[in-house]
Amino acid sequence: MKPQIVTFLIKCPDQKGIIAKLTHFFFQEGFNIISSQQYTNSESKKFFMRIRCASDATVLLSKEQLHERFSRLAQAYQITWSVDFGRKKQKVAILVSHTSHNLYDLLHRNKEGKLNCEVAMVVSNHEKLKPIADMFGIPFYYRPVTKETKETQEAELIRLFDEQGIDLLVMARYMQILSSGFIKHFENRIINIHHSFLPAFQGANPYKRAYERGVKLIGATAHYATEDLDEGPIIEQGVERVTHESTPNSLKKIGADIETLVLARAVNSHLNNQIIVDGNKAIVFPETGE
């Protein structure tokens, strides 16, 4: 019988002995700690932990039992927590409009086994990128949208994603502003790539405005989507030096390469349960080579 693997994400007020209390709990329940990462924010007096454990094969707790027992500890120490049992790959939907580089990169990485997920579908408000989804054998859903049909289209998407059991939405340059109701329905489960090093050059045409400002660095930002446009918790960022000789087109080409890497890293961090959202900040623990 295979051991049970669990990953806990924990945040609580910082307090003396909290690490000892947590590790003792897992010892008592028959778990062997595979990796433990922790961080204390001295400004907010908050403690964050990612702990990954394997059970003794002879002591397998049900999800309900583990939830019940850890909940008692959580209540005593004001712990907010989540647990992943690692028994199934998360199902991902990729949302796109016209631009192909992020979509192609994610599908290629997934095909090569570099993303631990099942890409269940590609959804677009245009038909242009259907051949890429077809190339990788991924179902493509065309859902056009106008200002007048936005509410209906979003309701259709919510039904589609819920029916298919989608765990994560990736906006790979999906050029639509999502409603607050849609975002709340998938809170902390929508990752967006912004082709700018936020908070600089928010909105459309950032490379043109970067060129006009004569910037010496350009970049990309992956973040969770929130009601405040382009201001959600930042998961990953990347930058590249440029010079006065750069043109809007050359900046766009460099930026596209940065986008693909930044978005892939952000998606990977989410899939591997490396992220704890705290207010408008994302605590991202590094990979441990698991």
Domain of 20, CATH number, reads 3.30.70.260
Residues 251 and 125 in one domain: yes
Give the residue with greater pLDDT, 64 vs 229. Answer: 64
Q: How far is CA 56 from the centre of its chain?
A: 31
Whether 210 maps to a domain, the answer reads yes
Give the residue with greater pLDDT, 107 vs 290. Answer: 107
> Would residue 14 show up in a list of annotated catalytic residues for this protein?
no
Residues 77 and 103 in one domain: no
pLDDT for 70 equals: 95
Contact 144, 156 (CB under 8 A): no
Residues 98 and 186 in one domain: yes
Residues 254 and 191 in one domain: yes
Residues 71 and 205 in one domain: no
pTM comes to 0.91
Residues 68 and 167 in one domain: no
Whether 62 maps to a domain, the answer reads yes
Would the CA dihedral through 273, 115, 176, 137 be positive or negative?
negative
pLDDT band at 213 (very low <50, low <70, confident <90, very high): confident
Residues 12 and 144 in one domain: no
Residues 57 and 171 in one domain: no
Whether 207 maps to a domain, the answer reads yes
End-of-domain residue from the set 22, 49, 84: 84
Which secondary structure element, helix H or strand E, spans residue 267, and what is its range? helix 248-271
Distance between CA atoms of residues 86 and 61, nearest Å: 14
Residue closest to 85 by CA, chosen among 110, 67, 68: 67
For 95-133, the pLDDT digits (tens) are 999 999 999 999 999 999 999 999 999 999 999 999 999
Catalytic residue among 14, 84, 230, 278: 230
End-of-domain residue from the set 64, 84, 104: 84
Where do the H-state alpha helices sit in 29-148? 63-77, 101-111, 130-135
Residues 14 and 132 in one domain: no
Give how many domains the chain has, as a whole number: 2
pLDDT for 244 equals: 83
For 72-85, the pLDDT digits (tens) are 999 999 999 999 98
Domain of 242, CATH number, reads 3.40.50.170
- Give me the phi and psi of 126, to 5 degrees please: -140, 165
Residues 174 and 190 in one domain: yes
For 25-36, the pLDDT digits (tens) are 999 988 999 999
Whether 58 shows a pLDDT value over 60: the answer reads: no
pLDDT for 197 equals: 61
Domain housing 153: 90-284
End-of-domain residue from the set 22, 53, 84: 84
Residues 200 and 264 in one domain: yes
Residues 212 and 272 in one domain: yes
Question: Which residues, including other chains, have CB under 8 Å from residue 257's CB and lie 6 or more apart?
Answer: 240
Distance between CA atoms of residues 39 and 54, nearest Å: 22
pLDDT for 259 equals: 95
Whether 231 shows a pLDDT value over 90: the answer reads: no
Give the residue with greater pLDDT, 195 vs 84. Answer: 84
DSSP state string for 184-250: HHTTT-EEEEESS-TTTT-SS-HHHHHHHHT-SEEEEEEEE--SSTT-SPEEEEEEEE--TT--HHH
The residues facing 8 across adjacent strands are 51, 83
